[in-house]
Amino acid sequence: MKSLFLTCISMACLLMAAPAAPHHAFASEFDINKPVTLTGPVTRLEWTNPHAWIFMEVTDDDENIQEWAVELVGINDLLRLGWGRNKVQVGEVLSVLGYGARNGTNTANGASVTITDTGELLWESVARSGREGRERSRTPL
């Protein structure tokens, strides 16, 4: 009976730990020496843990359209900054300054996000702003 109890407890612990994915460090996936400037329409926005993602079409120097994935901060951080699921619309043109992926894919970590038509700064990391705190937004909360 004791063996069955211990087995059940062990299985429960394993099942509870399974959904917990490890959180990555910026430097493990992105390169501060690979700055990118991206401008293009949003194709979709994903609110997933541990980070939100903006997907956008960017035209390169040879006029080829490439899809880029831009990692933002976590959903809770965006909500605290006044973002919601409808803050950015599909088709809206954004300008993103960020850092490219170490693996060379069209993936970036967004350091700032601006609506191109209005110039509204939606997101800027402390690394870009040089200010205290983790992040800031110029949108009203």
pLDDT at 128 over 60: no
pLDDT at 59 over 60: yes
pLDDT given at position 83: 83
Of 37, 25, 30, the residue nearest 102 (C-alpha):
30
pLDDT at 1 over 70: no
Q: Is 41 a member of any domain?
A: yes
CA 2 to chain centre: 47
Segments forming the whole domain that contains residue 69: 30-136
Tokens of 80: 């605290």
Q: Are 43 and 56 in contact (CB under 8 A)?
A: yes
Q: Are 35 and 100 in contact (CB under 8 A)?
A: yes
Q: Is 12 a member of any domain?
A: no
Q: Is 10 a member of any domain?
A: no
Q: Is 118 a member of any domain?
A: yes
Domain with residue 116: its CATH number is 2.40.50.140
pLDDT given at position 14: 44
Which sign does the torsion angle of CA 135, 138, 139, 140 carry? positive
**Burial class of residue 38 in the structure, from the number of CB atoms within 10 Å of its CB (0-12 exposed, 13-18 middle, 19+ buried):** buried
Q: Is 3 a member of any domain?
A: no
**pLDDT, greater one: 28 or 139:** 28
In the DSSP assignment, the letter for residue 139 is: S
Q: Are 54 and 113 in contact (CB under 8 A)?
A: yes
pLDDT given at position 129: 46
Q: What is the mean pLDDT of residues 49-75?
A: 92
**pLDDT, greater one: 122 or 59:** 59
Tokens of 58: 């960017």
Q: Is 25 a member of any domain?
A: no
Total structural domains in the chain? Answer: 1
Sort strands 65-71 and 52-59 into parallel, antiparallel or unpaired: antiparallel
Can you give the pTM of this predicted structure?
0.71
Q: Is 13 a member of any domain?
A: no
pLDDT given at position 100: 96
Q: What is the pLDDT of residues 70-121, one digit of tens each?
A: 999 888 888 888 888 888 999 999 999 999 999 999 999 999 999 999 999 9
Of 55, 61, 56, 60, the residue nearest 41 (C-alpha):
56
User: Which position has the token pair 């900054």?
Assistant: 81
Q: Is 114 a member of any domain?
A: yes
